[in-house]
Structure 1
Amino acid sequence: MYFLGIDVGTSAVKIILIEENGNVIGSISKEYPVYYPQPGWSEQNPEDWWNATKDGIRELIIKTGVKNYDIKGIGLSGQMHGLVVLDENNNVLMPAILWNDQRTQEECDYITQTLGKEKLAKYTGNKALTGFTAPKILWVRKHRPDIYKKIHHILLPKDYIRFKLTNEYATDVSDASGTLLFDVENRKWSTEMLDALDIPYNWMPKCYESTEVTGYVIKDVADLTGLKEGTIVVGGGGDQASGAVGTGTVKSGIVSVALGTSGVVFASQDKYVVDGENRLHSFCHANGKWHVMGVMLSAAACLKWWVDEINNFGKASVTYDELLEEAEKVRAGSGGLIFLPYLMGERTPHSDPYARGCFIGLNMTHNRGHMTRAILEGVAFGLRDSLEIIKELNIPVNEVRVSGGGAKSVLWRQVLADIFGVRVDMVNATEGPAFGAAIMAAVGYEVFKDVEEACSKLIKVSDSVYPIEENKDKYNEVYKIYRNLYYTLKDTFKDVSGIE
């Protein structure tokens, strides 16, 4: 038997087909555009997601030759926080406002002022950020009242695909946690938040646990895609929770680090815990428990910037491998050179859109290798900021599992191990959130009794890097300097950001 995992990403939908033993027998990605109609705005057409998904499913079934009756379940993952609004006839009323859209600062301020930080944290476990869904709803009410009065249903990106597959309005607890309308502790919509913001309760989709069956593939979709009518579709999860399932980060003591364009430090926990200062997100996990998560906005993006925009400006042709080879020759600490990785501002722990990237400590002895290594170290220090908060909450950190494009570098994994002071592992599963979604479908079909059992059987550590004690000691000293630099430069960052 086989299971389908669908991840509705920002740049593309990724669809994979796995066997019940976890072997991936086929995958496909279908891209679609992002629109930026005004500075700071970020939108997509939900129909683009659906067209890519239905075409991708059909092509994948044809490519693999699997019989549709052998595909027993579908799991969904996707970009979080996006706002999809439907009218009474299920027509999409406007482009989806995405997670990285920045238009809603006034609405965030209004939410914080209306409820107060204490009530907001009590009701949702989080603070109001421009990425979340609730401020987007208020923005539509204020700026597009013509659309607002037509709203009958609100969905998150992956849940629009669920609706098209099953004709059901549903979501899961992990994705709902990122709306700022969800009672994360009690795993249900927050009547306090909906009432305080005057958002109708009946607009919100029914909320399920990630492995629960939420609906069944309808006949019209079966005809379009090649799926079998009646195939189950489970709750699934937001991309970070699904990605954590895909790396086996479902037990206390295991922390995952997604070293992609942005950086995410994710810790699974058995009990609901909230950071008193709301530097971390507290969300429901896809395994029926909870997780905390810290996000830095520029992680592997810093290295990409260094390679593409700085070292390959003009006619240069310098590869990642060449730069990393130079960095490997440099000792830990980069000769006193420190890089602050705030190229797009920062979220955890500073939540500061004005923060800027910079090199600190340059002198005449430094060369390009020092600068490359300082970037690797600076990103790792930024991720350690989240790790330290996790430790403050008494959440154990026994093992770190790293994924994403940056994890391909052995040097970067070693730097992470040295700066974190713990073992850093790679696992055999490399398909990310789509794999986690497929695992959830297998659990929903009762191949496994729960997510933990599925992960223990399907996901294995494939490579480990251990901290080098000498480097670990050096980095502990450098980190003390690193974590003070933001506060030293905070006011200067804001001043500099105003220069055109």
Structure 2
Amino acid sequence: MDIGTTSTKATIFTESGRFVSSHSIEYPIIHPKPDWAEQDPSVIYLAVLNSIRSAIIKADIHGTQLIGIGISSAMHSLIAVDQEGELLTNSIIWADNRSIDYVRKLKEDLNGHQIYMRTGTPIHPMSPLSKLLWMKGERPDIFAKAAKWISIKEYITWKWFHTYFVDYSIASTTGLFNLNELEWDQDVLTLLGIDKEKLSQPVPTTAVYQGMDRDAADFMGIPADIPIVAGASDGVLANLGVGAIEEGELAVTIGTSGAIRTVVSQPLTDPEGRTFCYALSEDKWVIGGPVNNGGIALRWFKDQFVSYENAIPTEKDSFEALIDSASDIPAGAQGLLFLPYLTGERAPHWNADARGVFFGISLAHQKEHFVRSVMEGVAYAVYSVGKVLNSLAGSSKVIRVSGGFARSDIWRQIVADVFDESVVVPESHESSGLGAAVLTLYALGHIDSLEKVKEMVHVSAVQNAISENAAIYRELFGVYERVYKNLEEEFKIIAEFQRRRDNSIS
């Protein structure tokens, strides 16, 4: 069960990791005001029920044949509920930036860096910590009334089991959870003015629950006593699902947004605060960084600037046509650089004020150059985090990729060349779903270690770096970094201008 930002997908696998069936249901992001990003938890709950039910029907199996269900979930959501579990808010998701002023206060006045070092969650508007500070300051009525503060995953499991629990992985993405103690951080709770009874009980990612709500089980067509494994966040499970489970193996995911991660054997935070550290299991931790702007940057460019003379029948075909149009453009797009910060940026800068930039435009540049530069800009953003990971955890041995970009030869080649390393493409693109399935098998005793995933992940392609292209990207990446640095103060000024204008219009 993979509860994502834009859709929920239920995927059924065999014990050997073979894909059987899947079903996904999309839902909207609600933007009631500038900088706000919310979703309706009740809509997502229905998507969970219906996607599981439909995946079972598609598989042509009976629900009693399922061994168990593991749960993957997007990170950083925050929901307030009352004593009866009724919703007081929508789910405030990672893309919400309304708490930016409280983030500045955390960084400047409230020992934000020390909080990061203990919790592993960078100080940023995405974090439930900053969202809670905003709630306390701006919505004291809701803050006082809330009986529990939970994530979307906890909302789903509460509907099933009528008890509040949160796995170590999701807990470690809140900014409230002490990585070394595996418990809510008392200093952070004191800062917020709440006690741990307002949060769920932290449990291992392998915790097993049975006896779910019978009405929900009957609707999905599964036994009420089917084992449900607490699971983890979608990011760390994507590492597991592509087989990047050993130290020195990088996992790169580029979908709507993007991320790069690697596994370490104990909690590891960055003295400069550039990376996250989230739990996978009791002895495996995932460090890395998310980038806000992955495929969303290419979608934006297509929607705003591309029209087709002949009808393109599907969204998928239109993206393929757009990417193919850049196939003859050389590496570096003839010196056209794109800083892909259309929605601010998380790692490694954690700068919600960052904005998108095309740099180096000349009369020689055509539409196809811009398309290539967008893909290269996203790859530069991911690589900038990869450099930090190498400095913290040692040089990488292999890069395993997943997400929509992994289906594109051109985009995979760009990533291989920017990193100057070979890129391994797993056969299955269901990385978070497979990771949840493998964690479930491990929790239920069907496999004796998570390393068994290596036998389940089959490689469909290997993309080797082209040395001439890698040399070009090394040169241009230095320019890319300097452009960002030189514009850092200007980003702050223009972002404040945009917020004033947005608020005056709204």
Q: TM-score range by the shorter chain?
A: over 0.9
Aligned pairs for 1:67-466 within 5 A: 67-113=62-108, 115-286=110-281, 288-312=283-307, 319-453=318-452, 455-466=453-464
Contact kept? 1:78, 1:158, Cα under 8 Å: yes
Tell me the number of residue pairs that the alignment of Structure 1 and Structure 2 aligns: 494
- CA drift of 1:322 comes to 4.1
Structure 2 CA distance for aligned equivalents of residues 314 and 188 of structure 1:
58
Contact kept? 1:256, 1:401, Cα under 8 Å: yes
Per-residue deviation, residues 420-448 of structure 1 (Å, max 9, x unmatched): 01111110221132222222222121111
SS in 2 for 1:327: coil
**C-alpha RMSD of matched pairs (Å):** 2.3
Give the direction of change, closer, same or farther, for the CA distance of 1:193–1:214 in structure 2 (3 Å limit): farther
Give the direction of change, closer, same or farther, for the CA distance of 1:146–1:366 in structure 2 (3 Å limit): closer
- CA drift of 1:283 comes to 1.6
**Counterpart for residue 3 of structure 1:** none
**5+ long unaligned stretches in structure 2:** 502-506
Give me the identity figure in percent.
30
Give the direction of change, closer, same or farther, for the CA distance of 1:402–1:188 in structure 2 (3 Å limit): same
**Counterpart for residue 477 of structure 1:** 475
- CA drift of 1:150 comes to 3.0
Contact kept? 2:2, 2:71, Cα under 8 Å: yes
Structure 2 CA distance for aligned equivalents of residues 106 and 268 of structure 1:
33
SS in 1 for 2:358: strand
Per-residue deviation, residues 119-142 of structure 1 (Å, max 9, x unmatched): 213321333211111222233333
Contact kept? 1:212, 1:444, Cα under 8 Å: yes
- CA drift of 1:215 comes to 4.3
Structure 2 CA distance for aligned equivalents of residues 145 and 379 of structure 1:
39
Higher mean alpha-carbon deviation, 132-141 vs 311-320, is at 311-320
Per-residue deviation, residues 181-207 of structure 1 (Å, max 9, x unmatched): 011233322122212322211122121
- CA drift of 1:385 comes to 0.5
Structure 1 CA distance for aligned equivalents of residues 301 and 144 of structure 2:
47
Contact kept? 1:123, 1:192, Cα under 8 Å: no
Give the direction of change, closer, same or farther, for the CA distance of 1:296–1:214 in structure 2 (3 Å limit): same
SS in 2 for 1:290: strand
Contact kept? 1:73, 1:441, Cα under 8 Å: yes
- CA drift of 1:328 comes to 2.2
SS in 2 for 1:256: strand
Contact kept? 2:107, 2:123, Cα under 8 Å: yes
- CA drift of 1:475 comes to 1.6
Contact kept? 1:241, 1:286, Cα under 8 Å: no
Q: Report the TM-score when normalising by structure 2.
A: 0.91
Give the direction of change, closer, same or farther, for the CA distance of 1:339–1:331 in structure 2 (3 Å limit): same
Structure 2 CA distance for aligned equivalents of residues 466 and 270 of structure 1:
29
- CA drift of 1:366 comes to 2.7
- CA drift of 1:236 comes to 0.7
Structure 2 CA distance for aligned equivalents of residues 146 and 374 of structure 1:
47
Give the direction of change, closer, same or farther, for the CA distance of 1:216–1:107 in structure 2 (3 Å limit): farther
- CA drift of 1:113 comes to 4.8
- CA drift of 1:167 comes to 2.2
SS in 1 for 2:125: coil
- CA drift of 1:110 comes to 4.0
SS in 2 for 1:75: strand
Aligned pairs for 1:26-45 within 5 A: 26-45=21-40
**5+ long unaligned stretches in structure 1:** 1-5
Higher mean alpha-carbon deviation, 160-169 vs 143-152, is at 143-152
